[in-house]
Amino acid sequence: MVSIKDVAREANVSTATVSRVINRQSNTSSAATTAVHQAIAKLGYKTSSNKQSANMIGVMVSDVSEPFFGQILKGVESVAQKNDKRLLVLSSQYSVETERQAIKQLVSYCDHAIIHSKWLTDDELIEYASQIPGLILINRYIKSIRHRCIALDNVHGGYIATRHLLNKGHRNIGCLCSEQDIDDAVDRLAGYKQALTEFGLTIDEQFISSCYPSEEGGRLATYNLLAKKLPLTAIVSYNDIMAAGALAALAENGIKCPDNISVVGFDDLIIAGYLNPKLSTVRYPAAAMAEQAARLSLKLTGQNESDQSSFIREHILIPSFVKRNSTSVCSTQT
Amino acid sequence: MVSIKDVAREANVSTATVSRVINRQSNTSSAATTAVHQAIAKLGYKTSSNKQSANMIGVMVSDVSEPFFGQILKGVESVAQKNDKRLLVLSSQYSVETERQAIKQLVSYCDHAIIHSKWLTDDELIEYASQIPGLILINRYIKSIRHRCIALDNVHGGYIATRHLLNKGHRNIGCLCSEQDIDDAVDRLAGYKQALTEFGLTIDEQFISSCYPSEEGGRLATYNLLAKKLPLTAIVSYNDIMAAGALAALAENGIKCPDNISVVGFDDLIIAGYLNPKLSTVRYPAAAMAEQAARLSLKLTGQNESDQSSFIREHILIPSFVKRNSTSVCSTQT
DNA sequence: CTGTTAGCGCTTTCAG
DNA sequence: CTGAAAGCGCTAACAG
């Protein structure tokens, strides 16, 4: 256990100065301050080493009120509870700076941190990961620290969504994309293309429409597709929310789902089961993923007695398909 | 600041024994254990008085993954963030014992605790509330500690839901109730009755159907209503989930909403906007309520510099009506 | 099972 | 602005 004393030695100051720096109180010279901060980073010192931090497992998500993140909290909480640990929650509110501050806090307060970072660069995350062994990245894959990442195989997700439609005879499949430049968006699109290619079909960019990943975005992207008068019989969507927008756009235009056009979502949010028709979608096992992340975190700090280094499989989860009522066999045979 | 030493003196044991009791380790006689626990309760001692607890605001809800509770977390988190506090989250998983343990933990770890208790008795909650001044009950009203409660006026909610339908000309209004014996269920029903009475209508118990407050429960309760061949033109539901079940049951029977029967929900969950038709409902301002609870907690421990004791209005929030597409003017004039 | 005692991590005081 | 040293809250070791 690295103490304030070690930090003091490393920074060539007294323990009192370190204490002052940590608590941001009274005046300390900037030289001493930076020296202390460097020493803290180097040694991986954590405040409240008085055992409190060992009992805390921290989570950072974008917004605690979103159902998807609720699942993640639940997953982490369940293993926290089993291991008699407390759950510390912070959110980034979709802001880079808030996200950075949150992670810094987590790193300094907790031995374990499950982080869903949307905005920080790989390099910055690698840096934080190096500070505590219990930091796990969720829904993100960084090769150089892949043993610290738990992610979903989004390519496969896009693939099975598209594949499901192909198997039902659909050949003219539109794709609603997220215009955000993040991994899951490009991966899911790649899965869509892979499925088509594998089926011997050529990819027509006309069938791909990008918008902001909201309900309104889904509606707009669908309008754009419809405007082109393509022989569309099915649509795969970046996520359930956009799919909800697509369903609304179709309904407004008298196009019946699934009779005329089938729709597939992604995520399997609660709303999927309440849409009309109930949405066929790809299940994102968020809670399971979070559980696994939490267990991995415990394992990496040796809390988890058993299998210290036993099974080190790739931490990539495979999504599965959920068939509901928004997809059917293609009626317009070509 | 009450220390372990004070507790030891109060309990007539040594500090070591107190330490042992707190950490539930090694053996301690039950006599000593209870004596220590009593002393802790009496003096309001909190572990980690080493300043950690003052930075923590704890929340307990039933299930962190439910959207409704997500709102509550978000509300508390927003004020926590503003006041530079960390958020500690525990859930009861709908179990009495888990709930009790969670509250105990919160009380001993945090200076502030926002608690959504569904299962504990008033007396027990009063007891916990007496242990720390920063404990606030949310969505619950206990008269003797009402300055520690933030709740919704559920009677008013049931009232405006019913009133909305009455104003649209409906006179034969069914009511889907929760069979659970909790305050909000009876309050919302009371609001329903009040609105009818106020309109000079007599209450016919035939129109009231109770089931478990789930989608399936809503479906069943609706079947039961339909089976009676009542001249039903509208339904008010205990919550949105049951209303979703009601919509499904109506659709399955070829009854159009809102053309034939209007439906009103309660809570205004995310799904309300995605149902078909979009659900008119009563908005439960969960996040706002949680924010207010958190602010109250800070105020009660004197953290909130200003207005120490200034405005002590009743902490009852008023719900409002959200008009969407599931309600319309009554067509069958009597 | 319990108290004494030594010790640890940290903060605060005080002198410079 | 800083360090030495005293002090505080707590835990661990040991003897009974």
Residue A320 CA, nucleotide D16 C1', distance (Å)? 64
Task: Evaluate the CA torsion angle B267, B273, B279, B281 in order and state its sign.
Answer: positive
Question: Is residue B14, in this structure, part of any structural domain at all?
Answer: yes
Instruction: Express each pLDDT in B120-167 by its tens digit.
Output: 999 999 999 988 888 999 999 999 999 999 999 999 999 999 999 999
Question: Is residue B241, in this structure, part of any structural domain at all?
Answer: yes
pLDDT at B281: 98
Task: Say if residue A234's pLDDT is above 70.
Answer: yes
Tokens 């293309």, residue located: A193
Nearest residue to B23 via CA among B13, B33, B8 = B33
Comparison of pLDDT for A304 and B327, the residue scoring more: B327
Rounded to an integer, what is the distance from CA A164 to the centroid of its chain? Answer: 24
Closest chain B residue to A90 measured between Cα atoms? B87
> Do A190 and A306 belong together in one domain?
no
A150-154, B49-53, B109-113, B249-253: range with lowest mean pLDDT: B49-53
DSSP string over B89-115: EEE-TT-HHHHHHHHHHHHHH-SEEEE
Task: Say if residue B318's pLDDT is above 90.
Answer: yes
Q: Which range scores top for mean pLDDT: A79-83, A130-134, A261-265, B54-58?
A: A261-265
Comparison of pLDDT for A75 and B105, the residue scoring more: A75
Q: What is the dihedral of CA A24, A30, A31, A37, to 10 degrees?
A: 40
pLDDT at B319: 97
Q: How far is CA B77 from CA B72, B242, B302, in A?
A: 8, 29, 19
Average pLDDT over residues B15-33: 83
Question: Is residue B259, in this structure, part of any structural domain at all?
Answer: yes
Question: Is residue A33, in this structure, part of any structural domain at all?
Answer: yes
Residue ending a domain, choose from A46, A67, A82: A46
> Do B203 and B266 belong together in one domain?
yes
Residue A114 CA, nucleotide D16 C1', distance (Å)? 48
Closest chain B residue to A82 measured between Cα atoms? B98
The verdict on a CB contact (< 8 Å) between B77 and A86 is no
Question: Is residue A330, in this structure, part of any structural domain at all?
Answer: no
pLDDT at B310: 41
Task: For residue A76, give every residue at least 6 positions away whose Cβ sits within 8 Å of its Cβ, in sequence order, or none.
Answer: A57, A59, A87, A114, A290, A291, A293, A294
Per cent of chain B over pLDDT 90 is 68
Mean pLDDT of chain A, nearest integer: 90
Q: State which residues form the domain around A272.
A: 154-284
Model confidence at A186, pLDDT cuts 50, 70, 90, reads very high
The verdict on a CB contact (< 8 Å) between A67 and B70 is yes
Task: For residue B210, give every residue at least 6 positions away whose Cβ sits within 8 Å of its Cβ, in sequence order, or none.
Answer: B176, B177, B178, B179, B221
> Do A36 and A60 belong together in one domain?
no
Closest chain A residue to B92 measured between Cα atoms? A81
pLDDT at A192: 98
Question: Is residue A223, in this structure, part of any structural domain at all?
Answer: yes
Is A108 within 8 Å of chain B by CB? no
Comparison of pLDDT for B334 and B201, the residue scoring more: B201
Residue A217 near residue A242, CB atoms below 8 Å:
yes
Instruction: Express each pLDDT in B85-96 by its tens digit.
Output: 889 999 999 999
Task: Say if residue B241's pLDDT is above 90.
Answer: yes
**B244 → closest Cβ in A74, A91, A274:** A274
Model confidence at A223, pLDDT cuts 50, 70, 90, reads very high
Is B325 within 8 Å of chain A by CB? no
> Do B230 and B169 belong together in one domain?
yes
Structural element, H or E, at residue A298 = helix A286-300
The verdict on a CB contact (< 8 Å) between A105 and B86 is yes
Q: How many domains does chain A have?
A: 3
Q: How far is CA B37 from CA A232, B34, B101, B104, B311, in A?
A: 70, 5, 14, 12, 36
Question: Is residue B260, in this structure, part of any structural domain at all?
Answer: yes
- Which residues, by CB, come closer than 7 Å to strand C? A 1, 3-5, 15-16, 18-20, 22-23, 25, 47-50; B 12-17, 20, 26-29, 31-32, 51
A287-296, A315-324, B35-44, B283-292: range with lowest mean pLDDT: B35-44
Size of interface A-B (CB pairs under 8 A): 83
The CATH number of whichever domain residue B31 belongs to comes to 1.10.260.40
Instruction: Express each pLDDT in B186-220 by its tens digit.
Output: 999 999 999 999 999 999 999 999 999 999 999 99
**A77 → closest Cβ in B66, B70, B91:** B91
CA distance B228 to B97: 41
> Do B166 and B57 belong together in one domain?
no
pLDDT at B309: 45
Is A90 within 8 Å of chain B by CB? yes
Q: How far is CA B42 from CA A42, B10, B80, B286, B298, in A?
A: 44, 9, 28, 33, 22
Average pLDDT over residues B59-65: 96
The verdict on a CB contact (< 8 Å) between B275 and A270 is no
> Do A197 and A244 belong together in one domain?
yes
Residue A119 CA, nucleotide C6 C1', distance (Å)? 50
In this structure, what token pair is assigned to residue B227?
Answer: 């089976």
**B274 → closest Cβ in A71, A105, A271:** A271
Model confidence at A310, pLDDT cuts 50, 70, 90, reads very low
Q: Which range scores top for mean pLDDT: A145-159, A306-320, B5-19, B81-95?
A: A145-159
CA distance A118 to B209: 47
> Do A162 and A124 belong together in one domain?
no
Average pLDDT over residues B289-303: 88
Model confidence at A314, pLDDT cuts 50, 70, 90, reads low
Residue A45 CA, nucleotide D8 C1', distance (Å)? 22
Nucleotide nearest B31, from its CA to each C1': C1
pLDDT at A126: 95
**B88 → closest Cβ in A65, A88, A276:** A88
pLDDT at A268: 97
pTM of the model: 0.88
> Do A178 and A262 belong together in one domain?
yes
Nearest residue to A54 via CA among A303, A330, A265, A293 = A303
Per cent of chain A over pLDDT 70 is 92
pLDDT at A71: 96
Average pLDDT over residues B96-104: 93
Residues of A in contact with B71 (CB under 8 A): 65
Nearest residue to B113 via CA among B137, B144, B84 = B137
Instruction: Express each pLDDT in A101-151 by its tens digit.
Output: 999 888 877 889 999 998 999 999 999 998 888 899 999 999 999 999 999
Comparison of pLDDT for B306 and A28, the residue scoring more: A28
Task: Say if residue A287's pLDDT is above 70.
Answer: yes
Instruction: Express each pLDDT in A16-72 by its tens digit.
Output: 899 888 876 667 888 888 889 888 888 888 765 455 666 789 999 999 999 999 999
Average pLDDT over residues A173-196: 95
Nearest residue to B282 via CA among B221, B246, B316, B326 = B326
CA distance B134 to B334: 55
The CATH number of whichever domain residue B133 belongs to comes to 3.40.50.2300
> Do A266 and A300 belong together in one domain?
no
> Do B171 and B258 belong together in one domain?
yes
Question: Is residue A333, in this structure, part of any structural domain at all?
Answer: no
Average pLDDT over residues B292-299: 93
> Do A278 and A165 belong together in one domain?
yes
- Beta-bridge partners for A57: A87, A112
> Do A162 and A173 belong together in one domain?
yes
